[in-house]
Amino acid sequence: MTDMAESGRAADPVTFAGGVLDEYRHVCAFVQDRAEADAALDPFVRDGLDRGDRLVYLVDSATPAAPLTRLRRLGYDAPALLADGRAEVRTWAETYLRTGGFDPDDMLGQLDELLGSAPEPRIRLVADMGWAAGDRNTADELIEFEARANFLHARHRHVVICAYDTSRFDGAFIIDILRTHPMVLIGGILQENPFFVPPEEFLGERGGYGR
């Protein structure tokens, strides 16, 4: 990480769910219902738009209008935000599953293009990870993807929230996903994750480092 990136982070922290995202901005948000998700995301969205940040949502292909409904509920002109590039909605079919299935390398390339090429304005990316629920064939690839993504996230100042509905994933998967995120939202409270394992170590354990 460059000195400039480190300086930018220290001078411009982001608040989320009552906590501060400064050194680490890759968050695993475990949510159990819509009310819990709204309590964390509504202030995060308001703060971002008020500070001139850009919102990017990765959502269920069946409900692409859900983020726009949130924006309207919060009192924003959703079509104007889309037209101005202040908000963008991409579906799972256009991102995680655009190759017909989950390709970790392709998705990391998409993230690198989105987050790595434009430092301004800051992006607040909210990814609904429900596309992977119930897909055991994808679980290991997704866990390694989340670990590898930390290398990318260390190079930019954007904020990435990976939202997992805990009712849709089994306990073993949740534990491994927890280990791949430096920050975690549990029970509506943001905290630095004591179970986080640096990606080099985590991938080394799984025989995946350097792939």
Burial of 120 (C-beta count, 10 Å sphere; 0-12/13-18/19+): exposed
- Among 87, 97, 28, residue whose Cα is nearest residue 60: 97
Cβ(126)–Cβ(56) under 8 Å? Answer: yes
- Name the DSSP class of 74: T
pLDDT digits (tens, 9 = 90+) for 86-111: 999 999 999 999 999 999 999 999 99
pLDDT for the residue 114: 95
Could you tell me how far CA 54 lies from the centroid of its own chain? 14
Across 40-66, average pLDDT = 95
**Nearest to residue 70, comparing CAs of 12, 124, 26?**
124
pLDDT of 10 reads: 43
Residue with tokens 């998967």: 173
Q: Which of 7-11, 21-25, 65-69, 182-186 has the lowest mean pLDDT?
A: 7-11
Q: pLDDT grade, residue 116 (50/70/90)?
A: confident
**Of 171, 115, 199, 180, residue with least CA distance to 142:** 180
Share of the chain above pLDDT 90, in %: 82
Q: How many CB atoms lie within 10 A of CB 67?
A: 24
What is the pLDDT, as a whole number, of residue 12?
A: 77
Distance CA 194, CA 186 (A): 12
Concatenate the DSSP letters of all residues of 75-140 into one string: T--HHHHHHTTSEEEEEGGGTTTTTSS--HHHHHHHHHHHHHS--SSPEEEEEEGGGGTT-HHHHH
Average pLDDT over residues 70-75: 96
Kindly list the distances between the CA atom of residue 180 and the CA atoms of 10, 110, 142, in Å, as whole numbers in the listed order: 23, 19, 10
In this predicted structure, what is the pLDDT of residue 11? 54
**Residue-wise pLDDT tens digits, 124-170:** 999 999 999 988 889 999 999 999 999 999 999 999 999 999 999 99
Structural domains in the chain, CATH included, are 42-181 (3.40.50.300)
